[in-house]
Structure 1
Amino acid sequence: MVLVALNLRPALSSLSPLLTRLQLDLQLSPAAVGALTTVPVLCLGLFAPLAPRLAHRLGIERALSFALLLLGGALLLRAQHLLPALFAGTILAGAAIGIGGTLLPGLVKREMPERADLLTGVYTMALCLGGALGAGLSVPLAGWLGGWVPAIAFWALPAFVGLLAWRLLMPHPWPQRIPGSRREKHPGLGRNALAWQVTLLMGSQSSMAYIVFGWLPVLLQQRGVSEADAGLMLGFSVMMQLGSALAAPWLGRLGRDQRPALLILLLLTAAGLVLALLGPQQWTWGAMVLLGFGQGGTFSLALTLLVLRSATPGIAGQLSGMAQGLGYCIAALGPFAVGLLLDWQIGLGGISALLLGILLIAALFAVLAGRRLQLQVDESSGEIVTRQQTACR
């Protein structure tokens, strides 16, 4: 699972440090650059609902193998000087990541139900490491390999290595179907307030994450930071997410619920963004530390809520599909909005106000979703209902 998770972020983080080169090389308009950062996030949401269907037909293990194969092919496709191939590969990469990321929480709940939150922290740490490597190595790889095209194509290699390891190390049984049985799917999730609170928390915090992945190097370059340093700063910030991603589930266990931990982490994210975009330039590296700690922990806890708020693996899979499907569609609005503001030549002050507004929305839903509640199946009606969580694991 760690090897799979390592491959679910470089496709997103490796492009932003090279956006200036792509824009000059392919003569992209600001709107096209904005679309390039928005499309993969939108695809995460649009293709997430496909994941449970694939898992039902192929099994979770084979569905993840398909996602890794699609990801590797997509990264090779977009590594060309052709604009249609660039966008097509970006769309397919977003689809592959949407499928893989949706399946992992249910797999965690199935394999380690008693320690699902801690294992979620481990694979979230792997996600952050993959994102850090993609951001920090993009510009050096372009220099070593002779351009942005081979630098982007390089990330297909770990995807295929991860696919090979997943096929060799993880059993791939076909799902056993009993005649007349249907895939476990309980009604009522779309009408449940707690499910929507988790979904909107996932969407708002993910919007911040993909704004940082897609636009932080560009925003830092507006402050006079070089292209190479801007990519290194993004990579350093994502690297800082490793520790907080692993520690966040443990931090969430200290109180009766996850609300205090979520609010502290969102406050760190806000402080890091304000310092990075508006503070003295000598504080920028320190701002990357705060930003990384805040975002890594928030993302880890948001993913942890998918298993903590679910009583069974089946509910976890349904909630994961809803939260990541709808959530990532909502999240795509963030990078698109930043692209519009840059196109309208809005300064860093206006962009910072937008980012703080998104964080306030995230804080509101963190207070609601972080309560000690759980989605369970009502025995009489068969619908998903919200009940008090009896044990905080």
Structure 2
Amino acid sequence: MTATHETAAPAPTAAPPRTVAPALLVAAILLLALNLRGPIVAVSPVTEAIRADLGIDAGTAGLLTSLPVLCFGLATPLASALLARTGLGRGVLVALGVLLGGTIVRSLDGLPAAVAGTLLIGAAITVGNVAVPVVIGRDLPRQAGAVLGMYTAALNIGSMITLSLTVPIAGATDWRFALASWGVLVLVAAGVWWWATRSLGAGTPADAAAEASVAGPVWWRRPVVWGLTIAFAGQAFAYFGVTAWLPLLLGDELGMSDSAAGVSSSVFQVAAIVGAFGVPVLLRLCPSPRIVVAVVCAAWAALPLGLLLAPEGWAVWCALGGAAQGGGITVIFSLVVRRARDLTENRRMSALVQGGGYTVAATGPSVVGAVHEATGTWSGPLLVVLAAVLVLFTAGLAASGRTA
């Protein structure tokens, strides 16, 4: 089915008058997206330096990646409530302020500061995660597929930039300065977001009035909502598990230096651009989104299987897996936008899908790290990632075939 048949976009008249230029709003969304993964994955290429400095083991180091993802799950209801109360524009600005504070606190001395800053970063990014699909569905409904693709691409470009440059910056200074330096991107995003959304505050009353348009709790009983939640759990678990440990895996298996492994692992991030832009095209061309889900999962599975059977072809496997993870998040959020019956349900579905999925995904870095530490090899962790991809495949097929 095409987007024309499936999308339950709200009528244009439901949105309050706005004067913001679409191009400026898209730019604000993309700059925001650069900050919604980069501060988390920046830890990965300097994990060994952090462990040595703080005197912690691999499992504890994994918390610096997994705690923000746990926040994505547990703090999502609060983020949704904050956005409903303050409006999308102001709510995201508050979140960017908290994100900047968390980035600085994480780089202060000691493990407690690192953990506290990490939690602040996770809470702030949670607000952005929930807000963006709602902003796109409300203010850019006709371009939703393309903008979701660009948004997903920007998430991974932010990861690529931090993975590639954190080690060189740390080499010239130290890991603390390297992680704190990404606060500059937060400031830029906050400035552009304020400029793009300064006229959107008037939308809050209309959005609040729309709360009555979804009858009671019926929306969360829809099978498609839970199917998408489970599918997103598999997608996000695999993504964060791979992102947290891919640099170390490449170093161990192929003898790469820390710097080379950080740059090489960015292939997994930058290749997501292909999937992010390719999936909206496939959704328009294919008779059913189930075909798109199957293609995405086949490419995803190539990463763990390829690294298990032929690690010397790492670049190909990382590119295929990267394209798949970019396509996976795009197809899931496209289905959320399509299946939501109005803007309020869009926000609620987005919150539940992300909240449930990220709660599961929060265990990804720690589970992968613990399995590696217990076995002393990378075979076990890669099989864990493959199992998560199978969850995505099974639940994604079920959800993409449902309309209820």
Q: Same fold (TM over 0.5)?
A: yes
**1:249 paired residue number:** 280
CA contact under 8 A between 2:229 and 2:357: conserved in structure 1?
yes
Report deviation, 1:75: 0.5
SS of equivalent to 1:50: helix
Q: How much has 1:166 moved relative to structure 2?
A: 1.0
| C-alpha distance in structure 2 between counterparts of 1:176 and 1:26, whole Å | 45
Amino acid at match of 1:199: T
Aligned partner letter, 2:399: A
For 1:102 and 1:257, locate their aligned partners in 2 and report how far apart those are by CA, in whole Å.
26
CA distance in 2, matches of 1:129, 1:34: 22
Specify the alignment match of 2:299 in structure 1. Answer: 268
Structure 1 residue 208: Cα displacement: 0.7
Match of 2:196 in 1: 169
Write out per-residue CA displacement over residues 31-82 of structure 1, whole angstroms, 9 at most, x where no aligned residue. Answer: 2113222211101111111222112211111111111111111111101231
One-letter code aligned to 1:268: A
Residue type of the partner of 2:151? Y
Task: Specify the alignment match of 1:90 in structure 2.
Answer: 118
The farther-off stretch of 91-100 and 285-294 is: 285-294
Aligned residue identity for 1:255: C
8 Å CA contact 1:117–1:307 kept in 2: the answer is: no
Give the corresponding residue for 2:185: 158
Q: Secondary structure at the match of 2:36?
A: coil
> How much has 1:21 moved relative to structure 2?
0.7
Gaps of 5+ in 2: 1-28
User: Match of 1:19, as an amino acid?
Assistant: T
Is the 1:44–1:329 Cα contact (8 Å) retained in structure 2?
Answer: yes
Aligned to 1:108: 136
Q: Secondary structure at the match of 2:108?
A: coil
TM normalised by structure 1 equals 0.90
Partner of 1:149: 176
Q: Quote the Cα distance in structure 2 between the aligned partners of 1:34 and 1:300.
A: 26
Q: Distance in 2 between matches of 1:367 and 1:177?
A: 38
% identity of equivalent residues: 30
Question: Aligned equivalents of 2:290 and 2:162: distance in 1?
Answer: 31
Residues 189/335 of structure 1: CA separation in 2 closer, same or farther (3 Å cut): farther
**8 Å contact 2:149–2:330 — kept in the other structure?**
yes
Structure 1's unaligned 5+ residue stretches are: 375-385, 387-393
Q: Aligned residue for 2:366?
A: 336
Root-mean-square deviation over aligned CA pairs: 1.8
Distance apart, 1:108 and its partner CA: 0.7
| Partner residue, 1:389 | none
The residue type paired with residue 147 of structure 1 is: D
Q: Secondary structure at the match of 1:8?
A: coil
Aligned to 2:268: 237
Whichever residue aligns with residue 343 of structure 2, its letter is: P
Task: Please name the residue that 2:320 is paired with.
Answer: 290
2:230 partner letter:
L
In structure 1, the residue corresponding to 2:341 is in which secondary structure?
Answer: coil
Give the count of matched residue pairs.
371
TM (norm. structure 2) is 0.87
Cα distance, 1:284 vs. partner? 1.6
Residue 278 of structure 1 deviates from its aligned partner by 4.1
Q: Distance in 2 between matches of 1:21 and 1:277?
A: 27
Name the structure 2 match of 1:358.
388
Structure 2 residue 342 is the aligned partner of structure 1 residue 312: yes
- Residues 280 and 182 of structure 1: CA distance in aligned 2, closer, same or farther (over 3 Å): closer
1:81-109 C-alpha deviation (Å, 9 max, x unpaired): 31111011111111111111111111111
Q: Following TM superposition, by how much is the alpha carbon of 1:176 offset from its aligned partner in structure 2, in angstroms? A: 4.8
Deviation at 1:20, TM superposition (A): 0.8
The alpha-carbon deviation at position 360 of structure 1 amounts to: 0.9
Match of 1:4 in 2: 32
1:143–1:176 CA distance, 2 compared to 1 (3 A): closer
With over 3 angstroms needed to count, the CA separation of the structure-2 counterparts of 1:46 and 1:280, relative to structure 1, is: closer
Q: 1:61 to 1:364 in 2, by over 3 A?
A: same
Q: Which moved more, 1:88-97 or 1:257-266?
A: 257-266
Q: How many angstroms does 1:182 deviate by?
A: 8.0
